[in-house]
Structure formats: structure tokens, C-alpha cells
Amino acid sequence: MIVTINYRDKRPIYKQITDSIKEQILSGVLKPDEQLTSVRQLAMEININPNTIAKAYAELERSGIIYSAMGRGYFVNNDLSEAYKMREAEISKTLCQCVGNAVQCGMSKEKVIDVIEKAYAEIEEREREKE
Amino acid sequence: MIVTINYRDKRPIYKQITDSIKEQILSGVLKPDEQLTSVRQLAMEININPNTIAKAYAELERSGIIYSAMGRGYFVNNDLSEAYKMREAEISKTLCQCVGNAVQCGMSKEKVIDVIEKAYAEIEEREREKE
Amino acid sequence: MIVTINYRDKRPIYKQITDSIKEQILSGVLKPDEQLTSVRQLAMEININPNTIAKAYAELERSGIIYSAMGRGYFVNNDLSEAYKMREAEISKTLCQCVGNAVQCGMSKEKVIDVIEKAYAEIEEREREKE
Amino acid sequence: MIVTINYRDKRPIYKQITDSIKEQILSGVLKPDEQLTSVRQLAMEININPNTIAKAYAELERSGIIYSAMGRGYFVNNDLSEAYKMREAEISKTLCQCVGNAVQCGMSKEKVIDVIEKAYAEIEEREREKE
DNA sequence: GTGGTCTAGACCACT
DNA sequence: GTGGTCTAGACCACT
């Protein structure tokens, strides 16, 4: 499990941690039932106050992505369907807002679709380079 | 000029004000050189401290959307091309992030495009109803 | 005598007026003992409150560039040597500050001289075009 | 970090603070990633309201010279190239205006260059004295 | 009347 | 401890 903190990032540290772990879980890097690095261990590794790590883990537990087993640590949840649904809903909502904003400031539908297509092209490009 | 504050909104008050006025200017509701409601006047109308209104107006001035003239008030800027460009860049950036997030959590490209299409359909629907 | 107000200019209106008239006097467009447009007349011409014009004229009188003759109006001063000296002192002071700032942020002396030379070249260029 | 307020200075307090800190950063007295004195601490030290300090710091952040991290404080930015460029542009602009003013009031080019040379000589003199 | 600056003091989220 | 937001109210310069 890799978590890197960017001190120039405007997101609070606990949020950077939850976002990073959530991403690794939803993209399959961290598998169901896999154990997360312990609070103390991660705190040492990335040089962050344990309270902040604990806050991040508690948040992930609340959103149903990980679960805690008293005294044994935190583990990736088995059933992530709820998490996937919420994530999709979030993304859809943001996309709708973007469309609203685009219409409002006179950005054409073609331009919007073009931006989307280019974003996909760029991602595919990067995938190919990795291989 | 209409500004309404929603206390349940997570955005700070000054941000709600800037967003609302920016929207009215970029969508043409407020015309170039039109005078904004004065700081004190708006403060009274929406029952918000003048300092907060002043902060919002200062932010809009910094982003080149309005300008101030000592002793006379705030006015909508004539040349909004820079503001439009920045707005488009913002929207494009958010769209790209959405695409990245979608790919990451397994949301298909078809689904993304579909969300976009439906958002446009809904906006057109609403436009038709207005007539 | 020509005075134009730029509402987007950050200088207060009275300051724009004094600067404009001072420039015309020091550059010889307005001759010694020439009468200035009357307060009321100028107020009408440029659509500015007479109080503001009066304030500008009072300021020019204070700095010894014009004089008032009770009931007859304002006139360009005969002896502008003092005004020229003060202007030169102002310019020298600003130049010295610029040099200080340049040194401080690592801008070379060559660069500073170059900017000066180019400024002169541009002015000469414009002079030639006028002819 | 040293900041001193001069109540006779015509610049507003927050401007004196930004100018002073900007100078210390661009001249290398404050190093990249170095932490600034906290808002409350500086407020106490120079006996100025914390709001005024916060305004100054926010301005420095906006101009890309420092950055803030919630709960931790303000830090000198790593990449100051943008700030240096803007500073140079500012200085060049002021120099050009000086040249324009000089020409206008009959101050010769030789005189302008002379003022520049003397300003440099004085700075070198002071440097030598320090050693 | 207009905006710009400043003080004093409160409460919040984050570390 | 840190910064961010907000209120209340004062005083200033400019129109």
C-alpha cells in the first residue's frame, strides 16, 4: 500500500490519505480482505501524526470501503458494490454540473465531447506506453 | 441582481456570492458596465456582514470579471474574454478528472457519454418548457 | 485643454485630472498665463461633479503649477522652475527605487540599461511616425 | 523573519507587510519551504490585528510566493521563477514610465542614465562597507 | 452616497 | 497549536 502526501495539495492530509486508499481499492490494487498498513506503521512511514491516519481510516470505514477488526487492524471490504455505486453517482453528478456550466458560458457540446474523447485518448496512450 | 444564500450549502458564504454573480455575468444576465448592487446595500438585502460582501467582490475583481471605482461602486467588466477562457479551462480540467475517475472505478466510456447526453437532453427539455 | 477620464483607471478621478493637466503644462502644451477651462465648464465637458474638478485645481494650485485670480479663474504659472525641479526629483527617486529592486531580485544592470534604451527608442519611433 | 511597520508610511499596513516579506523571499533571506511566522505570532510581535496579517499572507499566496497548509502554517514556495518574472516585468514597466515622464518634462537622457549609474554606485558602496 | 482598511473577537476544521 | 470564515463596528478617502 503506497500513500504519498503532497504538502502543497490544498486537500487536508486526512483527505489525501482517504482519496489515495479509496483509489487503490476501487481500482483493484488492494484486494478484498487485504489488510491495510496499521495506523502506527503508516504514521511512521509517511511521517504523519497517528491521529490524522486514524481519522482517515475511520472515514473509510464510515463509507463502507474498509472494516476494522478490534485489535487486529483494518481490512478491505468484501462487498464494494455499494462503494462503486456511490462513486459512479458522484462522477455522474460532477459531469452534469460540468455540462450545466459549459452551456451557461457558451462552450459548445462538440467542445465538451471533444475534451472527453481527448481525455480517453490520453489515458489509452499512457496505458500503451506502460506495456 | 439576485443573490441567495443557502446556509446548508457547504461552500462558504463569500464563495456562494462570487459563484452566483459570476454565473449571472458569464450568462449575460448582468451586462458589461452595469453597476453591481453596492456592498452595503447587498449586505442589507441578504442580511450578511458587509465585510463578507466586500471579500466576495474583491475576489471577483481579482479574477477580472468586475472592476471597482473608488467612491462610485463596482461595475461589470467590458472584456470578459479572459474570464470565459479561464472558465472553459476549469470545466475541461474537471471533465478530464471525471474521465480519470471513471476509468479507475470501471465506469465505461459509453456510460460517461450517456450521462453527458442525458444532461444535455434535460437542459434542452427545460429550455422548451420555459417557452 | 483636453482632459479624459478613464473609469477603469485605479487613480481617483481628481488625480487623473491633476496628472493630465500637470503633464500638459510641463510639456508646454499649456503656456504660462494661459487660462484653464473654468471649473463649471470642465465639469460639464467631462461630466464630473464640479467639487471634484475644484479639488483637482486646488491641488494644482498648492503644488505651484497654477494660480487662481479671485473671480477670474485659474491660470498657468509663469515660473515653473520649482515644478520642474520637483518632478525631476520624483523621477530620480523612482529610478533609484527601481535600481534597488532590480539588484534585489537579480536583474542585471545590463538588463536595466537595456530597458531604458528601448524605452527611448520607442519614444523616438513614435515621434518620427507623427511627422 | 523581520517585519517592521512604519505608521508614517502611506502604504496600508497589509501592503507594508507583503512588500517586506516579498523582498525577503526574492532576495533569498527566506529560503524555499521555510515556514513563515504564524499569523497569530506575527500579529503579537508587531502588534497588528491577526486579520490584517492574514490579509497580507493571503495576498502573498495569491501571487504564488508562499503557500498555506491548513493546520500547519504558511511556507515559502519552491518555484519562484514566476514571481521573479512578474517582478522584472513590474520594474521594466516602471522604468519605461520614468523615461516617458523624463522626456515629457525635458529631463535629458544623459541625466536619466546618470541617475541610474549613481544608484548602482551607491549600492556597490554600501556593499563594500558591509564587508 | 461609494469602496478600502483596520480592529476585536468568535467559532470552525485540521494537525 | 495552525489557518479560514464571519460578524460588528469604526474611520478614512473619494464622489
Mean pLDDT of chain C: 93
The per-residue pLDDT for A53 is 96
The per-residue pLDDT for C72 is 92
Mean pLDDT of chain A: 93
Average pLDDT (C62-85) is 92
Between residue 52 and residue 71 of chain B, the positions with Cβ below 7 Å from nucleic chain E are 54, 57-58, 61, 68, 70-71
How large a percentage of chain C has pLDDT more than 70? 100
The string of pLDDT tens digits covering residues A7-53 is: 999 999 999 999 999 999 998 999 999 999 999 999 999 999 999 99
The string of pLDDT tens digits covering residues B65-116 is: 999 999 999 999 999 999 999 999 999 999 999 999 999 888 999 999 999 9
Which residues in chain C have Cβ-Cβ distances shorter than 8 Å to D23? Answer: 104
3-state SS, chain B, equals CCCCCCCCCCCCHHHHHHHHHHHHHHCCCCCCCCECCCHHHHHHHHCCCHHHHHHHHHHHHHCCCEEEECCCEEEECCCCHHHHHHHHHHHHHHHHHHHHHHHHCCCCHHHHHHHHHHHHHHHHHHHHHHC
Q: Cα A111 to the chain's mean position, in Å?
A: 27
The per-residue pLDDT for D90 is 92
**B67, B70, B71 member nearest C8 (Cβ):** B67
List residues of chain C with CB under 8 Å from any CB of chain D.
23, 26-27, 84, 87-88, 91-92, 94-96, 98-107, 109, 111-113, 115-116, 119-120, 123
The per-residue pLDDT for B25 is 95
Instruction: Give the nucleotide at minimum CA-to-C1' distance from B43.
Output: F7
Average pLDDT (A70-81) is 92
Judged against a pLDDT cut of 90, whether residue C130 lies above it is answered with no
Average pLDDT (D99-119) is 93
With distances taken from each CA to the C1' atom of nucleotide E6, the closest residue turns out to be D52
Query: Is A108 strand, coil or helix?
Result: coil
Mean pLDDT of chain B: 95
pTM exceeds 0.75 for this model: yes
Report the C-alpha gap between D30 and D24 in whole angstroms.
6
The per-residue pLDDT for B46 is 97
The per-residue pLDDT for C115 is 96
The per-residue pLDDT for C32 is 94
The per-residue pLDDT for C70 is 85
The per-residue pLDDT for B61 is 97
Judged against a pLDDT cut of 90, whether residue B17 lies above it is answered with yes
Can you read off the three cell numbers belonging to residue C53?
A: 474638478
Phi, psi torsion values for B127, nearest 5 degrees: -60, -45
Report the C-alpha gap between A114 and A120 in whole angstroms.
10
The string of pLDDT tens digits covering residues D49-62 is: 999 999 999 999 99
The per-residue pLDDT for A24 is 94
Average pLDDT (C33-43) is 95
Judged against a pLDDT cut of 90, whether residue D115 lies above it is answered with yes
Average pLDDT (D88-113) is 93
Phi, psi torsion values for A69, nearest 5 degrees: -120, 110
Nucleotides of F under 7 A from a protein CB: 1-10, 13-15
The per-residue pLDDT for D130 is 82
The per-residue pLDDT for C71 is 86
| Rg of chain B over all Cα atoms, to the nearest angstrom | 18
Average pLDDT (C83-107) is 92
